[in-house]
Amino acid sequence: MYSNRRDDLTSIHNLSTEEKLLLFQKNIELRTKESLQQQMDQFRDNEIKKIREDERRKCQVELQSLRKELETLYKSKHETLNEKEMRIGDRFKVELENEKRELYAQRQAFLDELKAMKLRETENQRNLELRERSLTLEADRVKRLDDDIRKR
C-alpha cells in the first residue's frame, strides 16, 4: 500500500498541472461518492430502524388493544357465567325445597293413613271382641234357656 502511494506520488510529480487537477478531481469525486454512499447507507439503515421501530410500536399498540378487548370479553363472559351459575343455584335450592316439602307432605299423608288404619284396626278388634262377648253371652243365655226347658 505504501509503495503504491509512493509510486502515485512520483507519478504525480511527473504529470502536468492539468493532469494533476484531473487526478485530484477524480480523487475528490471518488471520496465524495464513497462518503455519499456511506451517508446513504447510514440513512437507509436509520430509516429501516425507524420503520422497524414504528412497526414494533404499532404491533405493541395493536396487541395491547387486542389484549384489552379480550380481557373485556373475558370479564363479560365471566360475569354472565357467574350470573347463570347463581340462577342455577337458586333454582336448585327452590327445587330442593319443593322436593323436601313434597316428601314431608307424602310422609305426613302416609302417617295419617297409617294412623287411620290403626284406628280402624283397633275399632275392628273392639267390635270383634264385643261380638265374641255378645255371642258368648247369647250362647250362655241359650244354654240357660235350654237347661230351663229341659228342667221343665
Dist. CA 93–CA 115, nearest whole Å: 32
Phi, psi for residue 129 in degrees, rounded to 5: -65, -40
Kindly report the number of other CB atoms within 10 A of residue 23's CB atom.
Answer: 14
All three cell numbers of 79, joined, read 360475569
Nearest to 12 by CA among 28, 23, 2: 23
Domain ranges of the chain: 2-115
Specify the pLDDT at position 11: 60
pLDDT in tens, 51-100: 999 999 999 999 999 999 999 999 999 999 999 999 999 999 999 999 99
Specify the pLDDT at position 100: 97
Q: What is the pTM of this model?
A: 0.46
* Position with higher pLDDT, 11 vs 25: 25
Dist. CA 10–CA 20, nearest whole Å: 12
